[in-house]
A and B are shown apart, each in its own frame.
Chain A
Amino acid sequence: MEFNLKIWRQKDARSQGGFIDYNLKGVSGEMSFLEMIDYLNKTLIEGGEEPVAFEHDCREGICGSCSLYINGRPHGPEDLIATCELRMTRFKDGDTIVIEPWRAKSFPVLKDLIVDRYAFDKIMQAGGFISVNTGAAPEANSIPVSKEAADEAYDAAICIGCGACVAACKNSSAMLFVAAKVSQLSLLPQGKAETAKRARAMVEKMDELGFGSCTNTTACETECPKGISMAHIARLNREFLLAGLKS
């Protein structure tokens, strides 16, 4: 197969970037999307050019490294997958494919398709944990957790921290990311004690780092590769309101 690729190239954080067109022949339908870029890079390097920088690691949709905006959608045209799980069979011979990095003020571009997502870690540092020291834990089965609560917490906990929710949101809000963690930990008895403090601290940090506000467009839920539900945002809002009342 042959593709016309329009790829965002940017030397570094300080430089201006722009789209460069590449015509790539000899792509196999069996390739994953990232293997297609590997192949492009091989031809670029062998032709004396610089390869396209992009992030990837596990290549099975769990590490959350990959972060491409493909034809105007985070992680590309298919639902419920990360970029690394996208396969070239999804495209037609001769297609034009536009590839960009995440676009969000809080995720500055470092080079080509690589953005800096450390803001997510900073939000987690503000309160995305249960304050239990090593050794202080009680016997595991002394804290029964209903299966329903455990399953719901799990559904929130599977966030891979890729940032697609932010990239999808017109306001670059990180609400789904924050809500997933607040929801997970407030559903579990172990995490309940700190819920109010946690919700407030994480939301404040999110605002401070320049993420926008949530206007319930549901774009985040649509583009989340793990299908994390907007219902968690509702739970976060509730906890945040309660936190306000308590303070």
Chain B
Amino acid sequence: MSKLKSMIPDGPLEEKWNNHKNSVKLVSPANKNKLDIIVVGTGLSGSAAASTLGELGYNVKSFCFQDSPRRAHSVAAQGGMNAAKNYKNDGDSVYRLFKDIIKGGDYRAREAYVYRAAQVSNQSIDQLVAAGVPFAREYSGYLDNRSFGGVQVSRTFYAKGQTGQQCLLGAYSGLNRQIARGKVTMYTRRDMLDVVIVDGKARGIITRNLVSGEIERHSAHAVVLATGGYSTIYYLSTLAVGSNASAAWAAHRKGAFFANPSFVQIHPTSLPQLNDFQAKLTLMSESLRNDGRIWVPKKKGDTRHPNEIKEDERDYYLERRYPAFGNLVPRDVASRAAKERCDAGYGVGETGLSVYLDFSDSIARHGKETIKSRYENLFEMYQKITGIDPYNEPMRIYPAGHYTMGGLWVDYNLMTTIPGLFAIGESNFSDHGANRLGAGSLMQCAGDGYFILPVTIGNYLADEIKTPRISADISEFREAEQAAREKLQNLMAIKGTQTVNSFHRRLGRIMWDYCGMVKNEEGLKKAMKMLAGLKKEFWSDLRIPGTMDEINQELERAVRVADFFELGQLMCQDALSREESCGAHFREESQTPEGETQRIDSRFSYVSAWEYREKDKKHVLHKEELTFENVEIQERSYK
């Protein structure tokens, strides 16, 4: 059994990262030029990493499945990016940001990682501002901040409701500069099918050129995955429909442990599902909860127009249950509270599966213009989709699958259990424990990509300076290419009757019902059986038209859904093994009398890291114990 070495440096918490930076091995400029690095994914973390590594002098090959790196899903992050600048002088600090993330994650993240993420957050803001990101400003010309779910300070930097787009484009511009310099070679429209291991080290990847269909080999001294999250497993989620787990899953099958796979954040403020044809759920930034009040009617099945329901007939259930944080409780708490009200029969809308998010009080207090300046594009988006004007009538919202805290297990150097294979951004599991706080995703992605990985990967590569350029014409690459081709051929050969989407929809429903917001033993076991049955049907009745040697979007989807069947099983297995509730992971068997999450620290204060064993096709659980020396472990109360 391989032991998990988290490689956390010695010393006091606040000194660890500096100590580490001072002690890691360096690669001289002349040697960097001889080293190749593959970066898969061009979201905020991938673009930031690729450009920074290019600046340092490494030869970088960057890959994305989209037609342009600028379209990676970081582009859709709305609300903002946290940093511990304390510009508002409201008592914020690196330590407080660290503490909020640890608490928000319900004490299921490593202290040293989270502290480092908080430390580098300030540099990330500096960097993005310098790159030309037009963050919101005050009239003085200085940067503005706002508050965000789950915290009591204002530390969120934002660019209206399109912060992710602006941060990503900032990183993308740096990437373009390195492409122009010839230090980054860009490969667009490529799906990564496998990672190639040579003598126990990651040395390259196998890709499919999505235009020509060609299966390609790419080699390097190290491989970085920045391939995002996987809540598209629910079919309907807030993610871009192309987001997928296949690159991470390929790495997992080759030996990279997958950590906390069942930790999925269900976002409380998405638009509710309208019909059965729907392809995705649109996110409404949680920043709306700063000025919006969430309520349902006090009367069951009240079908009156919301504006006709008087103040004393409304149940502002978050304010009622959580007076200290009110509408700003963390996402998991808000999501479950909405589900609780809807399940109890108080939900609104045709399906009864939504709640109101009401701005009338804020508009009365601050004026329409102020609210408009804060949320204009979100209000417009809502009106475009629903035809309802949120300035005059409350929005209707419901929770949706959103961010995956789980991901590839990494050590302090962001390296997976495969030497030379790194994972950054949402694709790793590192910072957010069992629940991510709002505006924490961009923070982690920028930190990983700009400031952490470029240091830690050097420590690994310092031992590789004598390794000549890796040839892709060796047996390991040929075999991996052949295996990837066979997998695609097997999918093409099914020639059944049903579309990929029809399978994905059913798979998503199973995951949503039994491994979503609320889980229990019986349901999880049932889901695993249902998944196995559906997987069998998939592999015998899938229809993919066309051929492998052309643009074939059905084939692209089929590969992703085939992997989701396996990941879904592991998510259920992980959820089953964690017989406690923590953060977004809610096991019905483990709740307080008030229906809140009940952690069981004595048994579950660990990271679950799953190993895939090829020889018996089984998953083995490894536990990385978590210790807390710098925060007091508390019941995570927002009351």
> Taking beta carbons and an 8 Å cutoff, which residues of A are in contact with B?
11-12, 28, 30-32, 34-35, 38-39, 41-42, 44-46, 48-51, 53, 55-65, 81, 85, 87, 89, 110-111, 114, 116-118, 120-121, 124-126, 128-141, 143-147, 150-151, 153-154, 157-158, 160-161, 184-185, 188, 190-191
Interface centre among A46, A49, A157 (most CB of B within 10 A): A157
With a CB–CB cut-off of 8 A, which chain B residues contact A146?
137, 141
Stretch from B127-135, B291-299, B363-371 that touches the partner? B127-135
Say yes or no: A137 contacts B277, CB within 8 Å. no
Say yes or no: B497 contacts A46, CB within 8 Å. yes
Say yes or no: B68 contacts A121, CB within 8 Å. yes
Say yes or no: A56 contacts B241, CB within 8 Å. yes
With a CB–CB cut-off of 8 A, which chain A residues contact B160?
154
Say yes or no: A138 contacts B130, CB within 8 Å. yes
| Contact residue among A31, A41, A184, A190 (Cβ-Cβ distance under 8 Å from B275) | A31
| Interface hits, B154-187 → A, CB 8 Å | 159-160, 162, 165-166, 169, 172-174, 176-177, 179-180, 186
With a CB–CB cut-off of 8 A, which chain A residues contact B240?
57-59, 63
With a CB–CB cut-off of 8 A, which chain B residues contact A38?
277, 279, 501
With a CB–CB cut-off of 8 A, which chain A residues contact B177?
125, 129, 131
Check A45/B554 contact, CB under 8 A, given A58-B75, A63-B73, A120-B68.
yes
With a CB–CB cut-off of 8 A, which chain A residues contact B75?
58, 62-63
Q: Is B19 interfacial (CB-CB < 8 Å)? A: no
Say yes or no: A130 contacts B132, CB within 8 Å. yes
Residue of B nearest to A117 (CB): B67
Could you tell me the distance in whole angstroms from the C-beta of B505 to the nearest C-beta in chain A?
10
Say yes or no: A42 contacts B188, CB within 8 Å. no
Say yes or no: B131 contacts A51, CB within 8 Å. no
Say yes or no: A128 contacts B277, CB within 8 Å. no
Say yes or no: B282 contacts A141, CB within 8 Å. no
Q: Is B208 interfacial (CB-CB < 8 Å)? A: no
- What are 6 sample pairs from A and B whose C-beta atoms fall under 8 A apart? A44-B545, A57-B242, A133-B55, A154-B159, A154-B160, A191-B132
Q: CA–CA, A38 to B385, complex, Å?
A: 18
Could you tell me the distance in whole angstroms from the C-beta of A193 to the nearest C-beta in chain B?
12
With a CB–CB cut-off of 8 A, which chain A residues contact B138?
147
Shortest 5 CB-CB contacts between residues of A and residues of B: A144-B141, A137-B130, A129-B173, A154-B134, A137-B126
Q: CA–CA, A147 to B279, complex, Å?
A: 38
Say yes or no: A51 contacts B553, CB within 8 Å. yes
Q: CA–CA, A191 to B134, complex, Å?
A: 11
Say yes or no: B176 contacts A121, CB within 8 Å. yes
Say yes or no: B173 contacts A121, CB within 8 Å. no
List 4 additional contacts besides A57-B242, A133-B55; criterion CB under 8 Å: A121-B69, A121-B176, A134-B174, A140-B126
Q: CA–CA, A31 to B545, complex, Å?
A: 24
Q: CA–CA, A188 to B211, complex, Å?
A: 38
Say yes or no: B499 contacts A139, CB within 8 Å. no
| Contact residue among A30, A55, A60 (Cβ-Cβ distance under 8 Å from B67) | A55
With a CB–CB cut-off of 8 A, which chain A residues contact B76?
58, 60, 62-63
Q: CA–CA, A160 to B69, complex, Å?
A: 12
With a CB–CB cut-off of 8 A, which chain B residues contact A129?
131-132, 173-174, 176-177
Q: How many residues of B contact A (CB 8 A)?
A: 80
Q: Is B551 interfacial (CB-CB < 8 Å)? A: yes
Q: Is B136 interfacial (CB-CB < 8 Å)? A: yes
Q: CA–CA, A129 to B137, complex, Å?
A: 21
Check A132/B554 contact, CB under 8 A, given A42-B501, A58-B75.
no
Q: CA–CA, A129 to B186, complex, Å?
A: 17
Check A30/B279 contact, CB under 8 A, given A118-B188, A131-B177.
no
Could you tell me the distance in whole angstroms from the C-beta of B160 to the nearest C-beta in chain A?
7
Say yes or no: A12 contacts B551, CB within 8 Å. yes
| Contact residue among B85, B143, B180, B498 (Cβ-Cβ distance under 8 Å from A125) | B180
Q: CA–CA, A117 to B282, complex, Å?
A: 26
With a CB–CB cut-off of 8 A, which chain A residues contact B279?
32, 34-35, 38, 59
With a CB–CB cut-off of 8 A, which chain A residues contact B241?
56-59
Residue of B nearest to A154 (CB): B134
Q: Mark B119-153, 1 if CB is under 8 A from A, else 0.
A: 00001011101111111111111110000000000
Q: CA–CA, A120 to B66, complex, Å?
A: 14
Q: CA–CA, A117 to B51, complex, Å?
A: 21
Residue of A nearest to B186 (CB): A121
With a CB–CB cut-off of 8 A, which chain B residues contact A128?
173, 176
Interface centre among B174, B186, B280 (most CB of A within 10 A): B280
Q: Is B71 interfacial (CB-CB < 8 Å)? A: yes
Check A114/B551 contact, CB under 8 A, given A31-B277, A147-B138.
yes
Q: CA–CA, A61 to B385, complex, Å?
A: 11
| Contact residue among B165, B186, B451 (Cβ-Cβ distance under 8 Å from A62) | B165
Q: Is B203 interfacial (CB-CB < 8 Å)? A: no
| Interface hits, B402-438 → A, CB 8 Å | none
With a CB–CB cut-off of 8 A, which chain A residues contact B546?
50
Q: CA–CA, A135 to B450, complex, Å?
A: 8
Residue of B nearest to A111 (CB): B551
Residue of A nearest to B173 (CB): A129
With a CB–CB cut-off of 8 A, which chain B residues contact A35?
277-279
Q: Mark B221-248, 1 if CB is under 8 A from A, else 0.
A: 0000000000000000000111000000
| Interface hits, B271-325 → A, CB 8 Å | 274-275, 277-280, 282-283
Check A147/B68 contact, CB under 8 A, given A32-B279, A137-B127.
no
| Interface hits, B85-102 → A, CB 8 Å | 85, 87
Q: Is B483 interfacial (CB-CB < 8 Å)? A: no
Could you tell me the distance in whole angstroms from the C-beta of B264 to the nearest C-beta in chain A?
19
Q: CA–CA, A125 to B178, complex, Å?
A: 8
| Interface hits, B330-382 → A, CB 8 Å | 381
Q: CA–CA, A59 to B232, complex, Å?
A: 13
Q: Is B384 interfacial (CB-CB < 8 Å)? A: yes
Residue of B nearest to A36 (CB): B277
Say yes or no: B130 contacts A190, CB within 8 Å. yes
Q: Is B560 interfacial (CB-CB < 8 Å)? A: no
